[in-house]
Amino acid sequence: MTTEIRINADEAKRLKNDTAFINFMQQVRDDQMRLFADSSASDVDVREDAHAILRAVNQIEIKLDASIQAEIILDRKQRK
């Protein structure tokens, strides 16, 4: 379990520091925001899809942060 937490944290840190990954995520976010902003009043499905994709991107970032935090908590517990 400890090894898995550390591996996940290392991978999450690598992704969060990878400029290609950061740029890709920002492009996805920008594209969806643009779709949302440029949609007409009748484009409910377009806005719902854009919103769902933005939520998914946010969930990816939350999952990465959680993996990093899990390692921090593990380190604190092992120091005691």
**Which segments of the chain have a pLDDT < 50?**
none
Task: Look at residue 80 in the predicted model and tell me its pLDDT.
Answer: 77
Between CA 42 and CA 52 the distance in angstroms is 18
Task: Look at residue 29 in the predicted model and tell me its pLDDT.
Answer: 97
Q: Which residues contact 64 (CB under 8 A, 6 or more apart)?
A: 12, 15, 16
Between CA 15 and CA 69 the distance in angstroms is 15
Give one word for 40, left, alpha or beta, with left for phi > 0 and alpha for psi -120 to 50.
beta
The reported pTM is 0.85
Q: What are phi and psi of 21, to 5 degrees?
A: -65, -45
